[in-house]
Amino acid sequence: MNLKQKKEVKQTWAIIPSRSNSKSIKNKNLQKIGNKSLLRLTIEVSKKTKKINRTFVSTEKKNILQKSIQWGSENISLRKKKNALDFSTDTDVLLDFFKSWFKNNNVYPKYIIYLRPTTPLRNLKTLNKAIAKFEKMKDFDSMISVNKTSSAFKTFIIKKKKYLCPSFVNMSLDDANKPRQSFVSTYVGNGYFDIIKTKNIFSNKFLGKKCFPFITKETIDIDRKKDLILAKFIFKNKIKFVDYFEF
């Protein structure tokens, strides 16, 4: 992407990806917790976060864009359908955004915070803290939220539809079956946020080479119907999840 005559501004913009064709839950991002959709909750927390300067929603559907604008998102062109498929990457989404943006604008933010609607139980203080921390980190290309998970070394794959095998090469079944305490801690990205330097995108990258792990407790990333049911239960009963609901 040609950045001549484009100017970087020291700001953080939130990009909220919201494609329409989720397979696990129909219209997933418009499902409601309380009386607000997952998408609306995400837009509103972004708008309230002091360290976020502007908020945009990337979607290929006109009705979702219209709702997003009503809830506080700035207007932007629709995402191309080829960048809203099951295997479309985060880089595809952001490149699509900036190709549209640069048609009428010549500035871009130094940082992007990527907020997925499927992780709706967020805390303003945590987002502000994470952005402030990343702004001070000169040697990292990105920061993502992670939480400790069951050891990845204790996972298996099935070969030829019948043979249980360790996920990692050079491990035996007995190695993988050792107590959890025998292994180093492993972590999984939980979707609370990703923060990147925008210049990563212009090099066709997302996280870049050096990514800092912002460790949190486990939070809810809504992928299946049972995740949505649990999120509704937590919200309805006002269970404290500041910062995160720990199972």
Could you read off the pLDDT of 134-170 as tens digits, one per residue? 999 999 999 999 999 888 899 999 999 999 999 998 8
- Return the bridge partners of 193, or none: none
Whether the Cβ atoms of residue 190 and residue 120 lie closer than 8 Å to each other: no
Asked if residue 103 is part of any domain, the answer here is yes
Higher pLDDT, 21 or 229: 229
Asked if residue 93 is part of any domain, the answer here is yes
Could you read off the pLDDT of 183-220 as tens digits, one per residue? 999 999 999 999 999 999 999 999 999 999 999 888 88
CATH code: domain of residue 91 = 3.90.550.10
Asked if residue 230 is part of any domain, the answer here is yes
Asked if residue 48 is part of any domain, the answer here is yes
How many structural domains are present in the chain?
1
Distance between CA atoms of residues 154 and 126, nearest Å: 31
In angstroms, what CA-CA distances link 181 with 38, 150, 184, 186?
A: 37, 10, 8, 11
Asked if residue 67 is part of any domain, the answer here is yes
Query: Rounded to two decimals, what is the model's pTM?
Result: 0.90
Per the listing, tokens 């006109």 go with 62
Nearest to 45 by CA among 70, 67, 14: 14
Asked if residue 214 is part of any domain, the answer here is yes
Distance between CA atoms of residues 190 and 220, nearest Å: 8
Asked if residue 54 is part of any domain, the answer here is yes
pLDDT at residue 129 tops 90 = yes
DSSP assigned state of 75: P
Asked if residue 152 is part of any domain, the answer here is no
**What residue numbers bound the domain in which 29 lies?**
7-146+189-236
Could you read off the pLDDT of 29-39 as tens digits, one per residue? 999 998 999 99
